[in-house]
């Protein structure tokens, strides 16, 4: 649903230019309360329709002996647009004397939510439509709650279809009183309650004589009263990394880090950091799509960056500026969520979570309390979150995420949960919990508590074998980025196994490939998380058996090692970092340059094992 191309591009340009005065509006409300009719009428009243469109749709209705509907205008525009290039089917554009508007009409509940949460709608203000003849309904409340949850504070309520209740002030008052109480309860003070008939055109662009008792603004008047929310370009810089591109020309190995800037501004030369990995660099250049090498980039733009030095970044990281408040990075947080999955949200189950550009498995560690989103009444002691419930939960992610806290920077505090391949919930991070893997630690503690030890103790084995059991991890560069580096680390790990074996130590080298196949669903590659879990469990057994257990992990980062440390308890890790590895915080026991000769590399590890009394102090 868009305008003819000249107006469209004008509006889109305005949308992409943070300096231009345009406002992004979302329209919400219960099914059939008149959202599309309100928009159709606004488009007609503001002259946003293509020449002759209104007459054409009216004529078509007459031909089909169907009453004309303003909502049909949107369908007509959609048809028209589907033949051209579509930007987003739910977006309409219009302008008033004051500014340009982009209005999002998402059909239905789920689309509304998806648009709001995924940021397809960068909504800055909302119109909430209530049918005067029906009164406040479930979705009126749910959508109101969602606007509040997502941090939208500029809301106007349209009490529509006033023609059906004879423009009765008492009906309007009743709805206003009831809905105002609800919205205040969820922390939003609506800017206005406007009695409207989309069908008759009352109080949309012109004040209606049929509501003499109403002294507030018209819908257009209220839209023009909304302020552009405090400029997002003044907030700290945040950009979820969507993709890494390579320059395609020969001999150019530069990579471009790309994404859409959520808030803030950056300039060439700024020191930036990528979270959760913690890697830092400076911006070497900004690659615009239309502009040549701009010197800065700001909120709403989708630039690419080249970095100095050229660090290895993965999709999903959050790019921030070194000199600004850092986001939170961790694995455990408290969040408020709205659930709409067919199956309830239950503790202990894993759900894919999308936060920024990252996708991370998450589970509910604890349900703190549950509310019914249309009534906002508390449901005591509930241990699952049903469809349309609102809940406050503690979540734990399978690996660290970087995000903001809703009260500080709501845009980068939002996430969605997927269940059954659909968006099933949306949430905002309210409070950062302690980092680390609390749920996993608890399970490991349970495992250790229930552990049935055999007759042969670790000490006995040590005496007999002449050395400790130890989990030796070679941390290699990511194989995708540096295949030779990853291979080198694997080769050294194999040499080490041979060397220790020749010295009569009890050792075993495990190739990760031996773990990669999922036996239940052959051919399916295990996720990195499953993989680490399995490896950690195996390491626990192997070290307990008194072995020097050796493996190579290409691309392992600090979070991976932290997880293996938990899983391998009560035993410890011995980390050998090779070449241009991905570790930032972890302190490896041995650091091996990429250029080290094979023999020397192995010797260095053996020496370090000796120094740390893992193996005895006579040479092998
Ligand atoms: P969904 O997209 O299906 O959720 O509906 P919607 O909210 O977009 O409602 P839509 O604009 O399609 O209107 C639903 C019905 O209400 C249509 O039959 C409209 O003709 C009718 N309607 C909308 N506004 C008014 C109004 O002001 N007065 C009267 N009498 N009917 C209206
Ligand atoms: Mg509609």
343 half-sphere exposure, CB direction, 13 A CA radius: 10
Are 495 and 537 part of one and the same domain? Answer: yes
Mutate to test the pocket of ligand 1, among 34, 72, 128, 132 (most ligand atoms within 8 A of CB): 34
346 three-class SS: coil
| 526 C-alpha to ligand 1 centroid (Å) | 49
Domain boundary pick from 186, 210, 225: 225
Regarding whether 117 and 196 lie in a shared domain, the answer is yes
Mean per-residue pLDDT for 107-122? Answer: 66
Higher pLDDT, 524 or 492: 492
Residues 196 and 275 in one domain: no
How many angstroms separate the alpha carbon of residue 125 from the centre of ligand 1? 21
**Cis peptide, bond prior to residue 276, ω within 30 of zero:** yes
Average pLDDT over residues 44-56: 88
Name the burial class of residue 570, with classes exposed (0-12), middle (13-18) and buried (19+) by CB atoms within 10 angstroms of its CB: exposed
Q: Where are the alpha helices (DSSP H) in 83-167?
A: 108-118, 138-149
Query: Which tokens go with 443?
Result: 């399970």
Mean pLDDT, to the nearest integer, of 12-27? 61
Closest CA to 464 of 508, 509, 505: 505
Shared domain check, 181 and 96: yes
Among 225, 245, 266, residue at a domain's last position: 225
Q: What is the pLDDT of residue 20?
A: 52
Q: Which helix (H) or strand (E) holds 395?
A: strand 389-403
In the structure, what pLDDT confidence band is assigned to residue 83 with cuts at 50, 70 and 90? very low
Q: What percentage of the chain carries pLDDT values higher than 70?
A: 89
Q: Which ligand is nearest to the CA of 67?
A: 1
User: In total, how many domains does the chain have?
Assistant: 4
Cis peptide before 482 (omega within 30 of 0): no
Residue 81 parent element (H or E): helix 70-82
**Residue 75 Cβ < 6 Å to ligand 1:** no
Q: CA–CA separation, 183 vs 164, rounded Å?
A: 25
Q: Do 106 and 82 share a structural domain?
A: yes
Is residue 620 assigned to a domain? Answer: no
CA distances, 169 to each of 127, 194, 220, 381 (Å): 20, 11, 21, 42
151 plus 52 within the same structural domain: yes
User: Residue 11: what pLDDT?
Assistant: 35
Is the CB of residue 198 below 6 angstroms from any atom belonging to ligand 1?
Answer: yes
Same domain, 271 and 352: no
- Do 50 and 185 sit in the same domain of this protein? yes
Q: Copy the structure tokens of residue 352.
A: 């894919």
The whole-angstrom separation of Cα 580 and Cα 506 is 30
Pair (150, 266) in one structural domain: no
Mean pLDDT for the stretch of residues 273-296 = 88
* 147 confidence band (pLDDT: 50, 70, 90): confident
Does a structural domain hold residue 279?
yes
110 occurs within a structural domain: yes
452 falls within a domain: no
How many other CB atoms sit within 10 Å of the CB of residue 147?
24
Q: What is the CATH number of the domain that holds 345?
A: 2.40.30.10
In sign, the C-alpha dihedral spanning 144, 148, 151, 157 is positive
Q: What is the mean pLDDT of residues 198-219?
A: 96
**Residue 498 has what pLDDT?**
97
**Per-position DSSP letters for 465-532, written without gaps between them:** HSS--EEEEEEE--TTT-HHHHHHHHHHHHHHHHHHHHTT--EEEE-THHHHB-SSSTTPBPPHHHHH
In a domain, 3, yes or no: no
HSE, CB side, 13 Å, CA atoms: give it for residue 13: 7
353: three-class secondary structure by DSSP: strand
- Across residues 191-218, what is the average pLDDT? 97
Do 479 and 570 lie in one domain? The reply is yes
Residue 447 lies in a domain: no
As a 3-state breakdown, the chain gives helix, strand, coil percent values, each rounded to 5, of 30, 30, 40
Least confident of 387-401, 457-471, 514-528: 514-528
Q: Is residue 54 part of a domain?
A: yes
Instruction: Specify whether 376 is located in the same domain as 402.
Output: yes
CB 121, CB 115: distance < 8 Å: yes
Which residues have C-beta under 5 Å from ligand 2, the single-atom ion?
35-36
| Token pair in block for residue 156 | 């106007």
Token pair listed for 620: 């092998």
Ligand 1 neighbourhood includes 36 CB (under 6 angstroms): yes
CATH classification of the domain holding 159: 3.40.50.300
From the CA of 30, give the closest atom in ligand 1. 4
Give the pLDDT band of residue 491 (cuts 50, 70, 90).
very high
Q: Which of 158, 162, 214, 220 is nearest to 190 (CA)?
A: 158
**Would the pLDDT of 350 be above 70?**
yes
Q: Is 35 in the pocket of ligand 1 (CB under 6 A)?
A: yes
Residue 154 CB less than 6 A away from ligand 1: no
Q: Are residues 270 and 349 in the same domain?
A: no
Which range marks the domain in which residue 118 is found? 9-225
Q: For 209-263, what is each residue's pLDDT tens digit?
A: 999 999 999 999 999 999 887 767 789 999 999 999 887 776 777 789 999 999 9
Higher model confidence: residue 116 or residue 12? 116
Torsion of the alpha carbons at 531, 537, 543 and 544, rounded to the nearest 10: -170
**Ligand 1 atom 20 nearest Cα:** 69
Tell me what the mean pLDDT of segment 42-53 comes to.
Answer: 88
Q: How far is the CA of 32 from the centre of ligand 2 (A)?
A: 7
> In the listed set 262, 291, 321, which residue is the last one of a domain according to the structure?
321
Question: What mean pLDDT is reported for the chain?
Answer: 87
**Does 160 sit in the ligand 1 pocket, CB within 6 Å?**
yes
Q: Nearest CA to 224 among 21, 439, 20?
A: 21
Nearest partner of 364 among 339, 399, 405, 393, judged by Cα:
393
Q: Is 40 a pocket residue for ligand 1 (Cβ < 6 Å)?
A: no
* SS3 category, 550: strand
pLDDT reported for residue 270: 97
DSSP state for residue 385 in the 8-state scheme: B
pLDDT of res. 124: 87
**Could you tell me if residue 448 is inside a domain?**
no
């Amino acid at each position: 649903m868009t305008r003819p191309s000249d107006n469209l591009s004008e509006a889109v340009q305005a949308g992409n230019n943070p300096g231009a005065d345009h406002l992004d509006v979302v329209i919400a409300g219960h099914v059939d309360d008149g959202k599309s009719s309100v928009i159709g009428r606004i488009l007609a009243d503001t002259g946003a329709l293509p020449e002759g469109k209104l007459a054409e749709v009216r004529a078509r209705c007459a031909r089909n002996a169907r009453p004309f509907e303003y909502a049909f205008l949107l369908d007509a525009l959609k048809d028209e647009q589907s033949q051209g290039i579509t930007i987003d089917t739910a977006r309409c554009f219009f302008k008033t004397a004051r500014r340009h508007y982009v209005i999002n009409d998402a059909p239905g509940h789920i689309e509304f939510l998806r648009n709001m949460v995924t940021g397809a709608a960068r909504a800055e203000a909302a119109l909430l439509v209530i049918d005067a003849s029906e009164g406040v309904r479930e979705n009126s409340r749910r959508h109101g709650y969602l606007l509040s949850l997502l941090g939208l504070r500029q809301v106007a309520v349209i009490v529509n279809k006033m023609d059906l209740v004879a423009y009765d002030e008492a009906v309007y008052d009743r709805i206003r009183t009831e809905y105002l109480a609800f919205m205040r309860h969820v922390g939003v003070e609506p800017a206005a309650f406007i009695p409207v008939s989309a069908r008759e055109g009352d109080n949309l662009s012109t004040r209606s004589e049929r509501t003499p008792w109403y002294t507030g603004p018209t819908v257009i008047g209220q839209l023009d009263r909304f302020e552009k929310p405090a400029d997002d370009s003044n907030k700290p810089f945040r950009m979820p990394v969507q993709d890494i591109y390579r320059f395609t020309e020969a001999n150019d190995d530069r990579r471009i880090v790309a994404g859409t800037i959520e808030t803030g501004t950056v300039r060439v030369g700024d020191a930036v950091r990528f979270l959760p990995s913690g890697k830092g660099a400076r911006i070497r250049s900004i690659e615009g799509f239309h502009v040549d090498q701009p010197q800065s980039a700001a909120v709403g733009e989708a630039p690419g960056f080249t970095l100095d030095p050229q660090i290895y970044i993965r999709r999903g990281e959050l790019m921030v500026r070194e000199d600004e408040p850092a986001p939170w990075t961790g694995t455990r947080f408290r969040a408020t969520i709205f659930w709409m999955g067919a199956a309830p949200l239950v503790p202990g189950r894993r759900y894919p979570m999308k936060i920024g550009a990252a996708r991370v498995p998450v589970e509910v560690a604890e349900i703190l309390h549950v509310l019914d989103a249309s009534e906002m009444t508390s449901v005591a002691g509930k241990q699952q979150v049903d469809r349309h419930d609102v809940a406050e939960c503690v979540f734990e992610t399978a690996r660290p995420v970087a995000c903001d806290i809703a009260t500080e920077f709501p845009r980068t505090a939002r996430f969605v949960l997927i269940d059954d391949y659909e968006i099933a919930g949306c949430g905002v991070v309210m409070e950062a919990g302690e980092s680390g893997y609390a749920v996993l630690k608890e399970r490991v503690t349970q495992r250790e508590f229930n552990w049935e030890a055999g007759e042969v103790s670790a000490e006995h084995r040590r005496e007999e074998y002449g050395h400790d059991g130890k989990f030796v991890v070679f941390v290699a560069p990511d194989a995708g980025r540096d295949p030779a580096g990853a291979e080198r680390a694997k080769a050294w790990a194999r040499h080490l196994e041979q060397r220790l074996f020749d010295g009569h130590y009890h050792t075993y080298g495990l190739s990760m490939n031996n773990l990669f196949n999922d036996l239940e669903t052959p051919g399916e590659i295990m996720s990195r998380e499953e993989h680490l879990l399995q490896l950690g469990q195996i390491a626990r057994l192997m070290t307990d058996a008194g072995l020097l257990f050796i493996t190579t992990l290409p691309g392992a980062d600090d979070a991976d090692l932290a997880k293996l440390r938990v899983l391998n308890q009560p035993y410890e890790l011995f980390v050998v970092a090779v070449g241009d590895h991905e570790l930032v915080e972890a302190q490896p026991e041995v650091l091996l340059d990429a250029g080290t000769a094979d023999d020397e590399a192995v010797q260095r590890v053996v020496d370090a094992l000796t120094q740390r009394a893992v193996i005895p102090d006579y040479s092998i």
